[in-house]
């Protein structure tokens, strides 16, 4: 919304939420999320044509167009638990809009939703109000950490709507907003269902690439092949392309897993068992990769890590974000916790409370579970985490991790000192020369 306000100065954008705390934070100097370039963007338009408010009714009444941008987490209970997305929040928004609207509105579905949610939203609106509503689907393709750049220069904008004269007019209205900064040929318009499905399929394809390359890392570690060389070799075929071939300890984030599970659920619902199984394998491969990394740590360290101190470098699901949702670090640490290792975590953007919130949500672990609060320590620097550690497990590819003086790090660690590079960003040969035992994803095992 900040980018729309910035690029379309004649449009007044009001962001509303029921949370006073969230809106208060958006109105403060300390914005509630970290994203490179976001502060500058918000500060440049806030109070001009971008406003944050808890007065939801007033904002609905005055708006011509309303974006529903609520979270749609995977359901934890009831039908489709563990797979289907929960659209409760979308429906609540639709009911609120119908209750408060005093004129016709265009309602834009921005949240990632199950296919045919737009239809549900439309039916709620139509049954509860006499005004005319058009529902559009406008899925978001930005990635965290590069959100502002992705929005300013998007590869495409996708807008789906009903293929009726009123639906096409609503599509045009939204196109004209984006056309303030996005070239017209990059604004793709489709019917509603194509737009909704495209969002899930885009994430499924991206996650599939990561799982595909990660599946080959296991093979590389058994042979003398090197995954980075393979990525380069296959990625230089333009039909394959170079992006999203970076091997890792596993993908994370709030979108990939959730969207694939949602796609799987939809396929299952339509009786498409083979299609559902096909996509579900992407998730299973990711689970395997996270678990394989944890098992590698245990087996390399003489099959026992009980009581050993392991420094965890990074907890965010990728660099340049403080987001921890579905982070691979969480699952790997859970397995290390089961082995009763002591962990010392350092992440430049993640605080202890948030880390434990993720443990609770993803793994059902609290500070009290299995002594987790005692076994997991949080540190203010990587050096502090490494002091006395038997191993470092690098989970997030923060740039600073590659810039440390590893001789100094080695000097403060217990020996033999291990490094498990879950992102392949460290200079492995140099580390070996210092004396580290190095394990990297999909790299020949030089110590075997
Ligand atoms: C993803 C998509 O990239 C966005 O297009 C989409 O809009 C977004 O989901 C969403 O649905 O909201 P995001 O989850 O923010 O964006 O981050 P990605 O850059 O896609 O990374 C996802 C995970 O895959 C991270 O854990 C990352 O480290 C991992 N990854 C990515 C790899 O392990 N290897 C790669 O080569 C690329």
What domain range is 355 assigned to? 301-440
Q: Mean pLDDT over residues 244-256, rounded?
A: 96
Tell whether 318 and 435 lie within a shared domain. yes
The highest-confidence range among 97-106, 142-151, 363-372, 409-418, by mean pLDDT, is 409-418
Tell me the CATH number at 250.
1.10.1040.10
Q: Mean pLDDT over residues 110-132, rounded?
A: 87
Tell whether 422 and 314 lie within a shared domain. yes
Please say if the pLDDT value at position 447 is more than 70: no
Q: Mean pLDDT over residues 189-193, rounded?
A: 95
The answer to whether residue 86 sits within a structural domain is no
Report which of 210, 162, 217 is spatially closest to residue 174, judged by C-alpha positions. 162
Q: What is the DSSP letter of 74?
A: B
In degrees and rounded to multiples of 5, residue 365 shows phi and psi of -105, 130
Residue 104's pLDDT band, with cuts at 50, 70 and 90, is very high
Q: For 41-58, how does the pLDDT look when each residue is reduced to its tens digit (9 = 90+)?
A: 999 999 999 999 999 999
Residue 99's pLDDT band, with cuts at 50, 70 and 90, is very high
Provide the token pair at 135: 């529902």
The active-site residue, picked from 90, 93, 255, 267, is 255
Q: For 331-369, how does the pLDDT look when each residue is reduced to its tens digit (9 = 90+)?
A: 999 999 999 999 999 999 999 999 999 999 999 999 999
The Cα 291–Cα 281 span in angstroms is 15
Provide the token pair at 292: 């394989």
Report which of 324, 305, 328, 304 is spatially closest to residue 316, judged by C-alpha positions. 324
Q: Determine the 3-state secondary structure of 135 from DSSP.
A: strand
Strand 391-394, strand 309-313: pairing: parallel
Written in H, E and C, the secondary structure of 184-213 is: HHHEEEEEHHHHHHHHHHHHHHHHHHHHHH
Q: Is 228 in the pocket of ligand 1 (CB under 6 A)?
A: no
The answer to whether residue 374 sits within a structural domain is yes
Q: Determine the 3-state secondary structure of 183 from DSSP.
A: coil
Report which of 97, 427, 366, 101 is spatially closest to residue 109, judged by C-alpha positions. 97
The answer to whether residue 366 sits within a structural domain is yes
Q: Determine the 3-state secondary structure of 431 from DSSP.
A: helix
Q: What angle do CA 250, 253, 259 make, to 5 degrees?
A: 100
Q: Mean pLDDT over residues 95-118, rounded?
A: 90
Q: Is 401 in the pocket of ligand 1 (CB under 6 A)?
A: no
Tell whether 335 and 414 lie within a shared domain. yes
Residue-level pLDDT at 254: 87
Tell me the CATH number at 339.
3.40.50.720
Please say if the pLDDT value at position 263 is more than 60: yes
Tell whether 435 and 305 lie within a shared domain. yes
Tell whether 396 and 312 lie within a shared domain. yes
Residues 441 and 421 sit within 8 Å (Cβ to Cβ): yes
The highest-confidence range among 89-103, 249-263, 282-296, by mean pLDDT, is 282-296
> Which residue, judged by its Cα, is nearest atom 13 of ligand 1?
143
Tell whether 269 and 318 lie within a shared domain. no
Tell whether 309 and 359 lie within a shared domain. yes
Residue-level pLDDT at 75: 84
Q: How many domains does the chain have?
A: 2
Provide the token pair at 307: 């009581």
> Which residue, judged by its Cα, is nearest atom 20 of ligand 1?
143
The answer to whether residue 116 sits within a structural domain is no
Q: Mean pLDDT over residues 287-313, rounded?
A: 97
Please say if the pLDDT value at position 448 is more than 60: no
Residue-level pLDDT at 73: 82
Q: Mean pLDDT over residues 126-135, rounded?
A: 91
Q: Mean pLDDT over residues 215-231, rounded?
A: 96
Distance 244 CA to ligand 1 centre (A): 8
Tell whether 309 and 417 lie within a shared domain. yes
Residue 157's pLDDT band, with cuts at 50, 70 and 90, is very high
Q: Determine the 3-state secondary structure of 7 from DSSP.
A: helix
Q: Which of 210, 327, 347, 394 to mutate to test the pocket of ligand 1 (most atoms within 8 A of CB)?
A: 210
Q: Is 141 in the pocket of ligand 1 (CB under 6 A)?
A: yes
Active site residue 255: yes
Percent of the chain residues topping a pLDDT of 70 = 100
Q: Is 245 in the pocket of ligand 1 (CB under 6 A)?
A: yes
Tell whether 278 and 326 lie within a shared domain. no
Residue 81's pLDDT band, with cuts at 50, 70 and 90, is confident
Q: For 381-436, how does the pLDDT look when each residue is reduced to its tens digit (9 = 90+)?
A: 999 999 999 999 999 999 999 999 999 999 999 999 999 999 999 999 999 999 99
The answer to whether residue 51 sits within a structural domain is no
Write down the pTM of the prediction: 0.93
Tell whether 207 and 307 lie within a shared domain. no
Region of poorest pLDDT, from 113-117, 128-132, 332-336: 113-117
The Cα 408–Cα 352 span in angstroms is 26
Atom of ligand 1 nearest to the CA of 323: 15
Q: Which of 35, 70, 143 to mutate to test the pocket of ligand 1 (most atoms within 8 A of CB)?
A: 143
Residue-level pLDDT at 117: 86
> Which residue, judged by its Cα, is nearest atom 8 of ligand 1?
143
The mean pLDDT value of the chain amounts to 95
For the beta carbon of residue 9, count every other beta carbon within 10 angstroms: 11
Tell whether 365 and 421 lie within a shared domain. yes
Please say if the pLDDT value at position 275 is more than 70: yes
Q: In which residue are the tokens 């139509």 written?
A: 126
Provide the token pair at 398: 């923060």
Residue-level pLDDT at 83: 80
Neighbour-count burial for 182-196, b at 16+ CB within 10 Å, e otherwise: beeeebebbebeebb
Residue-level pLDDT at 150: 96
Residue-level pLDDT at 72: 84
Handedness of CA 327, 328, 331, 334 (dihedral sign): negative
Distance 59 CA to ligand 1 centre (A): 33
Tell whether 315 and 273 lie within a shared domain. no
Please say if the pLDDT value at position 446 is more than 80: no
Residue-level pLDDT at 20: 97
Distance 143 CA to ligand 1 centre (A): 6
Q: Is 144 in the pocket of ligand 1 (CB under 6 A)?
A: yes
The Cα 111–Cα 54 span in angstroms is 20
Neighbour-count burial for 353-372, b at 16+ CB within 10 Å, e otherwise: ebbbebbeebbebeeeeeeb
């Amino acid at each position: 919304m900040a980018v729309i306000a910035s690029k379309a100065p004649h449009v007044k954008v009001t962001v509303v939420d029921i949370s006073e705390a969230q809106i208060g934070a958006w109105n403060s100097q300390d914005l509630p999320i970290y994203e490179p370039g976001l502060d500058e963007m918000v500060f440049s338009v806030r109070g001009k044509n971008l406003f944050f408010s808890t007065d939801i009714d007033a904002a609905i009444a005055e708006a011509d167009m309303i974006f529903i941008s609520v979270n749609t987490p995977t359901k934890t209970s009831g039908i489709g638990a563990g797979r289907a997305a929960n659209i409760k929040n979308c429906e609540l928004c639709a009911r609120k809009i119908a209750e408060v609207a005093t004129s016709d509105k265009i309602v834009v579905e921005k949240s990632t939703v199950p296919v045919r949610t737009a239809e549900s939203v439309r039916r709620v609106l139509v049954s509860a109000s006499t005004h005319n509503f058009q529902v559009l689907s406008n899925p978001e393709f930005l990635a965290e950490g590069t959100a502002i750049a992705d929005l300013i220069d998007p590869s495409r904008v996708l807008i789906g709507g009903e293929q009726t004269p009123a639906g096409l007019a609503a599509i045009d209205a939204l196109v004209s907003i984006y056309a303030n900064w996005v070239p017209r040929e990059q604004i793709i318009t489709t019917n509603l269902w194509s737009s909704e499905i495209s969002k899930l399929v885009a994430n499924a394809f991206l996650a599939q690439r990561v799982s595909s390359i990660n599946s080959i890392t296991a093979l590389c570690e058994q042979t003398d092949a090197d995954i980075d060389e393979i990525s380069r070799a296959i990625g230089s075929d333009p039909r394959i392309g170079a992006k999203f071939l970076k091997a890792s300890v596993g993908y994370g984030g709030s979108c990939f897993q959730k969207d694939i599970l949602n796609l799987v659920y939809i396929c299952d619902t339509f009786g498409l068992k083979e299609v559902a199984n096909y996509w579900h394998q992407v998730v299973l491969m990711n689970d395997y990769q996270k678990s394989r990394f944890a098992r590698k740590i245990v087996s390399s360290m003489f099959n026992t890590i009980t009581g050993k101190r392991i420094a965890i470098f990074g907890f965010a699901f990728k660099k340049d974000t403080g987001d921890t949702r579905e982070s691979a670090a969480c699952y790997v640490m859970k397995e290390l916790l089961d082995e009763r290792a002591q962990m010392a975590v350092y992440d430049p953007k993640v605080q202890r409370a948030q880390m434990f919130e993720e443990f609770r949500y993803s793994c059902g672990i609290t500070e009290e579970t299995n002594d987790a609060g005692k076994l997991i320590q949080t540190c203010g620097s990587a050096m502090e985490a490494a002091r006395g550690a038997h191993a470092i497990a690098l989970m997030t590819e923060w740039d600073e991790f590659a810039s440390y003086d590893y001789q100094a790090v080695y000097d403060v660690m217990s020996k033999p000192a291990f490094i498990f590079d879950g992102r392949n960003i460290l200079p492995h040969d140099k580390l070996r020369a210092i004396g580290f035992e190095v394990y990297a994803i999909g790299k020949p095992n030089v110590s075997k």
